[in-house]
Structure formats: C-alpha cells, structure tokens
C-alpha cells in the first residue's frame, strides 16, 4: 500500500516560520481545482470548498486499499486583472482557483467515476461540473506563516513583499494561500495560513 499524506509528505514546504520569510523550490503536485470570481465570502467560493472536499473524500474511498491518502488542506490562488492587483481591487473583482492536493496516480478516469458517484449519492454538491484535475508546477517561491484571523494577514504579507524587495526577487504567477486550520473549529487567533508567492529568483 502506498500512502500520501499531503501535510506530512511535504511538511517542510507548508510549514514556514511565522516571523521569517523562507524560499522553497516546489516539485509538481496533482490537484483538484475549481475556478471562480469574487471574494472568499462569495457563495461560489464557499460552494467550491464544499465540492472539493466532497470529491477528495470520494476519491479517497474509491482508491482504497491500493492508494491510501489523507485529505490535504484547501489551497487557493488569488489574483486580480485590474491595475494594482489584489491589494487595490475590490474583492468582488478578484479571481481565484481553489484546489486540494491528490496523489500523483489520480487521473481523469478516477475523477469522472468520483463525480458520477457523487451525482447519484449527493445531489446537494453544487459545483461538480467545473471540477478538474491538473498538475501544478509552482517551482521557486517565497512564503511565510500567518497565525491569526484571515483578515489580519497584512503584517505577514508586508514581510513577504519586503523580503522580495530587499533581495531583488521578482514576483510571478498568483498569490497563493494554504489554509492549514478549519475556521469552523479553530479560534481566530490560532488559525494558520501559509502565504506564498511564486517568484523569479535572481541568478547566483
């Protein structure tokens, strides 16, 4: 039996310190993904989270006992097409890709079977049509851990930007957040979020 625990298998990649920006070089990972627009409180985003968890659990059941994997955290890529990016754009105009990691061996046939089963068993799952599976190769990144409410991540984000400026590092790709704790069961001051930015590292 092979086992993938997304938290343990790359713990060093999703456990940066809360007061220090670190660099990481990420290998490709396989993800379930749903795209959308609007802020984190928008109904489509909340439905996407529910759907991703439902599909991941369906895959987990279907793949046992050959592939046994633990369900990983929700991750989201955030961006805005308007000048100024996320920080100067109304959340209603944000765009996002919500995603959750799955084992490398999961393919289109596995996903189709899981979705077919959910359509029969769980009609209330709302966003099955846009679910896709994709390999995401993020590569070089800088990241920091934010501890506290989601809305209070300004200081961690500032540290990330200052580190990039001080070290001549240019951003690329989308702002990436990894939500390691469940806001339904975790006190706001204890919530842990990895804030990550893909980058072009300067030549040594």
Distance CA 107, CA 41 (A): 31
Cis-peptide into 65, omega within 30 deg = yes
For residue 97, list its beta bridge partners: 35, 77
Residue 11 in contact with residue 60, Cβ under 8 Å?
no
Q: What pLDDT sits at residue 11?
A: 62
Residue 82 in contact with residue 90, Cβ under 8 Å?
no
Q: What pLDDT sits at residue 16?
A: 86
pLDDT 10s digits, 32-71: 999 999 999 999 999 999 999 999 999 999 887 777 788 8
Residue 167 in contact with residue 153, Cβ under 8 Å?
no
For residue 200, list its beta bridge partners: 170
Q: What pLDDT sits at residue 7?
A: 43
* Residue 200 Cα distances to 22, 79, 121, angstroms: 14, 18, 45
Domain boundaries, the chain: 2-200
Q: Which residues of the chain have pLDDT under 70?
A: 1-12, 84, 88, 204
Q: What pLDDT sits at residue 22?
A: 92
Secondary structure element (H or E) that encloses residue 53, with its range: helix 43-63
Nearest to 48, CA basis, from 69, 87, 78: 78
Contacts of 120 (CB under 8 A, 6+ apart): none
Nearest to 171, CA basis, from 21, 1, 14, 3: 21
Q: What pLDDT sits at residue 68?
A: 74
Q: What pLDDT sits at residue 8?
A: 43
Q: What pLDDT sits at residue 13?
A: 79
What kind of fold does domain 2-200 have according to CATH? Multidrug-efflux Transporter 1 Regulator Bmrr; Chain A (3.20.80)
What is the distance, to the nearest Å, from the Cα of residue 188 to the centroid of all Cα atoms in its chain?
Answer: 19
Distance CA 6, CA 178 (A): 12
């Amino acid at each position: 039996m092979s086992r993938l625990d997304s938290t343990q298998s790359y713990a060093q990649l999703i456990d940066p310190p809360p007061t220090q920006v670190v660099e990481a070089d990420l290998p490709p990972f396989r993800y379930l993904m749903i795209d959308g627009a609007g802020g984190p409180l928008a109904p489509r985003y909340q439905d996407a989270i529910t759907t991703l968890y439902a599909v991941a659990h369906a895959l987990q059941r279907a793949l046992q006992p050959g592939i046994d994997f633990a369900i990983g955290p929700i991750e989201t890529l955030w961006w805005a097409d308007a000048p100024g990016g996320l920080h100067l754009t109304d959340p209603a105009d944000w765009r996002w890709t919500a995603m959750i990691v799955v084992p490398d061996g999961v393919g289109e046939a596995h996903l189709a079977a899981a979705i077919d089963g959910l359509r029969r068993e769980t009609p209330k799952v709302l966003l099955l049509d846009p679910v896709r599976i994709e390999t995401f190769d993020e590569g070089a990144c800088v990241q920091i851990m934010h501890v506290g409410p989601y809305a209070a991540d300004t200081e961690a984000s500032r540290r990330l930007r200052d580190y990039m400026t001080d070290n001549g590092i240019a951003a690329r790709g989308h702002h990436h957040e990894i939500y390691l704790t469940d806001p339904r069961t975790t006190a706001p001051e204890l919530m842990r979020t990895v804030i990550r930015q893909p980058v072009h590292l300067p030549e040594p």
